[in-house]
């Protein structure tokens, strides 16, 4: 028996098994296979005797469970084969999905100890606007559109999201180093309004992008309503970094401390909210401000301890 685990061989063996039942009607076949997953799942529960009273660990029939796990997996692979999903694609998606699970778990179980900082993603970590504008120009050029209208930009935006445009962005200058530095001082949460509910691939595109640039946060919050998202956190963040005027002033009005990224001009008419906002142009300014804030905080704690 070969020792190496080989997903491709498993795929081929299942395909060979299925030669007796060639797929004539794809929809019917998929219904049959997915029903099979459920049915074999129930068989697995039965094999384990999960609903017996006073079940003890010693009673579990691992051998029988193994055979049932194989049956569940054979139906799962049958679905993949019917959809022409290769073992390589399955493996890649498996690891991506595992990262998603890690991050989701971390977002619900933030340890205390370090303070929390919340970072916006687009135009704070990822250079979105410049590169999206370039994409729109190319998109229009390819369609011989000389004067782009709003609807063209909207269509381009849809395409951008569907082809995985977010995974092609470059980091904002200084973001990678800045992130690394912040990670030493804070639990980092990313709060983004990217429309993950409308385009499922945004989730994995975003995570693999963050991983690629070594900017893996402790948790990610996906919410267009940033005030609501932060209000749900168990511990209030010490600081929020965002570039959007709307988010900045909404959050400042709710008493969050904000660094308004990419700004250095005074914007009047927002009254008291300014007490909570500092404007920062570059990532070096973010580090400067956070360091000062942490020092101030340490001093305060020192005083309390005296």
Minimal distance, residue 181 CB to Mg ion, in Å: 20
**How many whole angstroms from its chain centre is CA 148?**
32
Minimum CB separation from Mg ion for residue 248, in Å? Answer: 10
For Mg ion, the closer of residues 103 and 126 by Cβ is 126
Print the binding letters for residues 218-257 with Mg ion: x by CB under 5 A, - otherwise. Answer: -------------------------x--------------
- Rounded to a whole number of angstroms, the CA Rg of the chain reads 26
Question: Which tokens hold the place of 289?
Answer: 């401000």
Among residues 34 and 263, whose Cβ is nearest to Mg ion? 263
- In angstroms, rounded to a whole number, what is the distance separating the alpha carbons of residues 43 and 155? 48
In the bound state with Mg ion, the residue whose beta carbon lies nearer, of 140 and 196, is 196
Stretch (H or E) spanning 119: strand 116-119
Q: Would you state the torsion angle of the CA atoms of residues 203, 207, 208, 213, taken in this order, to the nearest 10 degrees?
A: 150
Cβ distance to Mg ion smaller for residue 78 or 121: 121
Write down the residue that tokens 């697995």 correspond to: 44
For Mg ion, the closer of residues 29 and 119 by Cβ is: 119
- How many residues touch Mg ion (CB under 5 A)? 4
Tokens of 154: 């909207």
CB nearer Mg ion, residue 29 or residue 121: 121
Binding mask 120-159 for Mg ion (x = CB under 5 A): x-xx------------------------------------
Query: How is residue 159 written in tokens?
Result: 């395409």
Q: How far is Cα 35 from Cα 29, in angstroms, rounded to an integer?
A: 10
Site for Mg ion in 107-126 (CB under 5 A): 120, 122-123
* In the complex, least distance from residue 247 CB atom to Mg ion, rounded to whole angstroms: 7
Q: How far apart are CA 214 and CA 134, in angstroms?
A: 25
> Which residue in 220, 270, 223, 245 sits closest to 123, CA to CA?
245
Using CB under 5 A as the binding rule, the residues of this chain from 168 to 227 that contact Mg ion are none
Residues at the contact surface with Mg ion, assessed by CB under 5 A: 120, 122-123, 243
């Amino acid at each position: 028996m070969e020792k190496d685990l080989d997903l491709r061989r498993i795929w081929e063996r299942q395909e060979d098994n299925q030669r007796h039942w060639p797929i004539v009607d794809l929809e019917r076949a998929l219904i049959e296979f997915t029903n099979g997953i459920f049915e074999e799942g129930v068989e697995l529960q039965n094999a384990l005797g999960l609903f017996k009273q006073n079940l003890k660990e010693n009673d579990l029939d691992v051998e029988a469970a193994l055979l049932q796990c194989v049956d569940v997996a054979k139906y799962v692979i049958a679905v993949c084969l019917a959809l022409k999903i290769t073992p390589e694609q399955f493996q890649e998606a498996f690891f991506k999905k595992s990262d998603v699970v890690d991050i989701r778990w971390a977002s619900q179980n933030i340890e205390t100890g370090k303070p929390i900082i919340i970072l916006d993603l687009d135009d704070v970590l990822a250079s979105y606007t410049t590169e999206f504008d370039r994409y729109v120009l190319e998109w229009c050029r390819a369609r011989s559109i000389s004067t782009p209208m709003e609807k063209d930009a909207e269509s381009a935006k849809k395409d951008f999201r569907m082809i995985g445009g977010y995974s092609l962005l470059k980091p904002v200058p200084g973001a990678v180093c800045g992130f690394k530095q912040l990670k030493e001082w804070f639990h980092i949460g990313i709060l983004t309004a990217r429309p993950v509910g409308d385009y499922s691939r945004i989730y994995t595109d975003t995570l693999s992008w963050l991983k690629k640039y070594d900017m893996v946060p402790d948790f990610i919050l996906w919410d267009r309503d940033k005030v609501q998202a932060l209000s749900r956190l168990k511990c209030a963040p010490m600081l929020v970094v965002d570039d959007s005027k709307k988010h900045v002033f909404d959050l400042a009005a709710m008493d969050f401390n904000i660094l308004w990224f990419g700004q250095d001009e005074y914007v009047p008419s927002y009254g008291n909210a300014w007490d909570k906002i500092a404007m920062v142009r570059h990532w070096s300014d973010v580090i400067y401000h956070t360091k000062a804030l942490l020092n101030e905080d340490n001093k305060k704690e020192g005083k309390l301890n005296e």
